[in-house]
Amino acid sequence: MAFINLKDRVIQAKIVYYGPGRCGKTTNLEYIYSRCREQINSEMVTVKTQGDRTLFFDFFPFDIGKIAGYDVKIQLYTVPGQVKYNSTRRLVLKGVDGVVFVADSEAERRNKNVASLMNLQENLALYNKNIFEMPLVIQYNKRDLAKQGIEVLDVETLDRDLNGVLKAPSFEASAVEGDNVVVTLKKIISLTMASLEKELENGDW
């Protein structure tokens, strides 16, 4: 649920990076955090386990400047990808305005991507949100693995598995190398802002 402060002319919206465990959600945020420091007036919050896996979420607020006279602040979150942390994923999704689904290109992880996407759909439904209507970008991460001789799924297969029906904008990426990380972010911000604008025009508030 975005919050629009008419007095100070500030918009806060929430974007969540979702996907299976070890797909690179945290790496996406770490890259953004390291490259866009001027737009982030905050430390990156991470709630991790001892084994350095995300336990609750990673978070920082990202200032994207003025849109139509409003200061827009995007709250970026990741969820924990491990299957056992579903109740935590649900908590983080509360009030979400846009989602980046980070898929793992490694061939071995094919089924985990599909399961995670279905889990996203179920969890959004708990908040009466429809995955088909939600601003959504799909990122095919870890494309760099091919260079190390690790088998990766081709984009057609990933598209068929994950985006055959959704038809969401999608990008090949390597969060470790920073390829298309910012492009993914820009796309989800633009979709989220367009969705908010539409909501305001329709008077859905």
Partner 1 sequence: MSLILGSQHLDRIQDTLQKNLIGSGVQNTMLIDMAGNIIVTVDNGQVTRDMYSLAALAAANFGAMCSMARIVGEEEFSLLFHKGQKESIYFSRVNEEFLLVNIFDNEVTLGFLRLKMAQVIQELSRVLD
Q: What is the DSSP letter of 129?
A: -
Does position 1 bind partner 1 by CB under 8 A? yes
- Least distance CB 145 / partner 1 (angstroms): 32
CB-nearer residue toward partner 1: 40 or 166:
40
CB of 179 or CB of 199, closer to partner 1: 199
**Does residue 14 touch partner 1 according to CB under 8 A?**
yes
Question: Which of 88/190 has CB closer to partner 1?
Answer: 88
Beta-carbon contacts of residue 64 (< 8 Å; ≥ 6 apart): 39, 72, 73, 74, 189
Query: Which position among 3, 35, 67, 147 is part of the footprint of partner 1 (CB under 8 A)?
Result: 3
Shortest reach from residue 8's CB to partner 1, in Å = 8
**Does residue number 125 form part of the binding site for partner 1 (CB under 8 A)?**
no
What Cα–Cα distance (Å) separates residue 152 from each residue in 45, 104, 160, 177?
A: 31, 9, 15, 16
CA-nearest of 44, 14, 42, 51 to 26 is 44
Q: Pull the structure tokens for residue 168.
A: 């969401």
Candidate list 56, 85, 101, 140; residue touching partner 1; CB under 8 A:
56
On whether the CB atoms of residues 73 and 196 are closer than 8 A, the answer is no
- Using CB under 8 A as the binding rule, whether residue 199 contacts partner 1 is answered as yes
107 neighbors 152 (Cβ within 8 angstroms): yes
Q: Which of 37, 65, 148, 205 binds partner 1 (CB under 8 A)?
A: 205
Number of residues that bind partner 1 (CB under 8 A): 34
Least distance in Å: CB of 52 to partner 1? 19
CB contact set of 19 (below 8 Å; sequence gap of 6+): 25, 81, 101, 102, 103, 104, 113, 116, 141
